[in-house]
Amino acid sequence: MTDTERNRLSARAARYARVGANVGGVAARMAGARFFGLTLDRGRNAMELAAALGGLKGPIMKVAQLMATVPDALPPEYVAELSKLQSEAPPMGWAFVKRRMIAELGPDWQQKFADFEHHPAAAASLGQVHRARAHDGAALACKLQYPDMQSAVEADLRQLNLIFAIHRRMDPAIDTTEIAKEIGARIREELDYQREAKHVALYRAMLADTDLIRVPRPWPELSTGRLLTLDWLEGDRMLAHRDDALAIRNRLAQAMFTAWWFPFSRVGVIHGDPHLGNYSVFQRDGEPGGINLLDYGCIRIFPPSFVGAVVDLYNGLMTGDDARRRSGKRGRSRCRGSSC
């Protein structure tokens, strides 16, 4: 069958135009205010930029999400607005949802669910999530990819490469070539929901013995390349617990560290998209018990040589063993410069 959403020149051209219109308008207003010496309303500008990026979806929005997590990279007004894009991006409407579900599961798709909520529970950069219920009563999370994301990704990555090229001319001390390659590889992988379902199964196996982290179960019969159905995991936002008792905050920090370090140090797998929208906190015995790990699109697999070097570096720093620390740094450098 012909893939009507493959990477196409016409769709990329439309993406370039949308990015220029949405972001260019905000940038022009900010530049004009500076040129004429007017006072900038950073709160309003931040809201307009977040709205423009939220409407665009895709990698550009994902980069904005990431920038909001880097300390002191942006003014606080921008951090506050762009952080909302992690879980409060503008959603696509019900008409889009119905068309997408028909394309993925067929015209009788609604009969495959006992219930399917019209309004999304969350909307992010590449897709949005709807709550549903299986015929056996299980709560489900259905992640639908936005239309023409393959073309949008390629168009956005091309523009990102141009930005990196300009940066290299201004600051040749930092070579951003490998950064651009890594971003491109990981975002392209995120478009493949069948690959993500395999990542979920892998994490369920890796973290099966810890009660601090919950991983959903994939539903292959209700999933495709652009629709991923998983168990719905109840939880609230991580930042809702920043003022909790120290013991609870330590428990959540331990859970997040385990979710990152345990798979990497033992299996060579790392969760590469750690913004807070990808976590929620579940309750156990009336208090926060740990974290739900929600998104598995951006997963990086490393060879044993690189993992061993990082573990050596970590142990060298912990024990003050300078020889082991230097060995770990050399191992990491060799790996970054090779095919691994």
Q: Within its chain, how far is the Cα of 238 from the centroid?
A: 16
The catalytic position among 115, 136, 236, 273 is 273
| HSE value, Cβ hemisphere, 13 Å, CA-based, for 125 | 30
Beta-strand pair 287-293/213-214: parallel
CB 94 within 8 A of CB 148: no
Nearest alpha-carbon partner for 66 in 158, 160, 132, 199: 160
Token pair in block for residue 159:
């523009």
Token pair in block for residue 292:
């739900």
Nearest alpha-carbon partner for 231 in 117, 94, 134, 109: 134
Q: Verify whether residue 243 is a known catalytic residue.
A: no
Helical pair 42-56 and 9-35, crossing angle rounded to 10 deg = 180
Interior/surface letters 52-69, b for 16+ CB within 10 angstroms, e for the rest? bbbebbbbbbbbbbbebb
Whole-number Å distance between alpha carbons of 184 and 338: 18
- Which residues of 121-179 form beta strands (DSSP E)? 122-123, 127-133, 139-145
The SS3 call for residue 231 is strand
| HSE value, Cβ hemisphere, 13 Å, CA-based, for 126 | 26
Catalytic residues: 273
